Amino acid sequence: MHSAGGVTLGVLVNLPMFRQVPRAQLAELVRGAQVVHARRGEPVARSGEPPPGLMAVGYGLVKLSLSEGGGKVLRLVGAGETFGEAMLFLEQPLPVDATALCDTLVVVLPRAPLLALLERDPRFARALLASLCQRLHELVADFQSATAYGARERLAAYLEALVEPGARAAELPAPKAVVAARLGVAKETLSRLLRQFSAEGLISVAGRRITLLDRERLAAARQGIKPAAGCQPA
């Protein structure tokens, strides 16, 4: 770690929870912030260690995973996203490992100035609460997906969410092995399902680039509706 500079302010102003915080108060956070530069495979934070603070990804990608249970991937955190919010309130060790999946910059905001900002700025408090609620909603949705749907349905839902409305293509944010772990399937299962979706005319795959050829039928696959026997893509 080394002292943060102007790059820290640039990261913070692009985070939803800080958009309404006056620049003068952001400047106070910047003074106490640290910047972590991590290369691919390097740890950003380790399970069982005291949390360094709220962590915001400036660029790159961080994998949050359990150290036990086969290294289950709980979340992939990209640029403009944060993790460790709950550690503002719970003075407990981190429950996950945070690992860089490529060259990554993470801004670390210590607990004390953030708690002070919470006390004096209700807009920031509401924004932080909204972030925590959104994270809880995502965890519930992930649990529901893992327990109620099969691998085919989970992958279809993931690909739908990956490609923004109005767009046709997007890059997988991480290697297929990591995406498979995120979805709770084996890498071989992911590859097989991608081939199936391609054969059905739902998507095309070029390396990590996924192009949606038929979003409507992919949505049907998300709901567990399989193509009729003998049906060929148009």
Q: How many CB atoms lie within 10 A of CB 13?
A: 12
pLDDT tens per residue across span 158-215: 999 999 988 999 999 999 999 999 898 999 999 999 999 999 999 999 999 999 999 9
Q: Is the pLDDT of residue 226 over 80?
A: no
pLDDT tens per residue across span 90-127: 888 899 999 999 999 999 999 899 999 999 999 999 99
Q: Which residue has the tokens 């060259």?
A: 103
The answer to whether 35 and 6 have CB atoms below 8 angstroms apart is no
Q: Work out the pLDDT band at 72, boundaries 50, 70, 90.
A: confident
Q: Work out the pLDDT band at 143, boundaries 50, 70, 90.
A: confident
The amino acid that residue 177 corresponds to is A
Helices (H), the chain: 6-13, 23-32, 111-120, 122-148, 151-162, 176-183, 187-199, 215-222
The beta-strand segments (E) located in the chain are 2-3, 34-38, 43-45, 54-59, 61-65, 73-78, 82-83, 97-100, 104-109, 169-171, 203-206, 209-212
The Cα–Cα gap between 65 and 160 comes to 23
pTM of the model: 0.79
Q: How many CB atoms lie within 10 A of CB 180?
A: 21
If we measure between CA atoms, which residue out of 221, 168, 164 comes closest to residue 196? 221
The Cα–Cα gap between 27 and 31 comes to 6
